[in-house]
Chains A and B, each alone.
Chain A
């Protein structure tokens, strides 16, 4: 009698363990899937939510960033737009867009004639090798963009665990 109850207990324990490990495995897979956002957005998909059909030209905007970034969680990037930054003609917004990150719009900067120069720099996170797009909105409603491929050897989306 005693032996029977012991095996039953063991069996229950085993079931419980299997259940727990199953949950762990499942969540891990789900997590891996979410991280591996393998779909690369096209330029149209990236810019159209912001541009909305306005005039878009690829000129007079420089991106300075490393071609090869060792660590995706900290990539320095510098944007410079050629603009007189006068009351009539200035850059109003600069957008940083990512092709692969879970959040496409990495940052939005608001500028104006009081800035004197349309240049910003920051440090971004990248989830793998991808094209990074810088988009600038001018005061006349026109958009300028430029893109640069950054090779990332270690994605920002890696767990500490």
Chain B
């Protein structure tokens, strides 16, 4: 079960460039490390993560095992109108995650 948290400043005005902070709860197993019994933990990383603001894809990441566990991303987006902010991701186990939040623009 993956959980996402997304954060941006309060009181966003139209035309403003907003910093979006995104945190996903995910182990991001590299496939190189062993667990305590000496068994290699199979690779399980997020393959692709997309962020949509309304119908526009505003951010897309293709991480690899080089991204730390519980990946954190920060990026900017230009605020235009109130829309739904949708985060979707897919990992090696085929687990799909989704998070929806309303992006309010004053």
B is bound to A: yes
B62 beta carbon closer than 8 Å to chain A: yes
B66 beta carbon closer than 8 Å to chain A: yes
- Nearest Cβ in chain A — how far from B32, in angstroms? 6
A102 to B30, CA, bound (A): 10
Cβ contacts under 8 Å, B77 to chain A: 114-116
Cβ contacts under 8 Å, A116 to chain B: 17, 76-78
Interface size class of A (residues with CB under 8 A): 35 or more
B71 beta carbon closer than 8 Å to chain A: yes
A140 beta carbon closer than 8 Å to chain B: no
A123 near B67 with CB under 8 A, answer yes
A121 beta carbon closer than 8 Å to chain B: yes
- Nearest Cβ in chain B — how far from A94, in angstroms? 10
Q: A116-B17, A119-B75 are in contact. Are A109 and B34 (CB under 8 A)?
A: no
| Chain B, 41-74, CB within 8 A of any chain A CB | 53, 56, 58-69, 71-74
Which of A101, A105, A109 makes the CB contact (< 8 A) with B59?
A109
A134 beta carbon closer than 8 Å to chain B: no
- Nearest Cβ in chain A — how far from B28, in angstroms? 8
Q: A103-B66, A107-B66 are in contact. Are A122 and B76 (CB under 8 A)?
A: no
Cβ contacts under 8 Å, A157 to chain B: 30, 32-33
Interface size class of B (residues with CB under 8 A): 20 to 34
Cβ contacts under 8 Å, A61 to chain B: none
A73 near B78 with CB under 8 A, answer no
A115 near B36 with CB under 8 A, answer no
A114 near B58 with CB under 8 A, answer yes
B76 near A161 with CB under 8 A, answer no
Cβ contacts under 8 Å, A31 to chain B: 34, 40
A121 to B78, CA, bound (A): 17
A105 near B78 with CB under 8 A, answer no
B38 beta carbon closer than 8 Å to chain A: yes
A57 beta carbon closer than 8 Å to chain B: no
Listed by A's residue number, 8 A-B pairs whose Cβ atoms lie within 8 Å are A34-B32, A74-B69, A102-B30, A103-B65, A107-B67, A114-B56, A156-B30, A159-B33
Extra inter-chain contacts (16) besides given A156-B30, A161-B34, A161-B36, CB under 8 Å: A31-B40, A35-B32, A74-B68, A101-B65, A106-B66, A107-B67, A110-B59, A114-B53, A114-B56, A114-B58, A114-B77, A121-B74, A122-B68, A125-B65, A125-B68, A160-B35
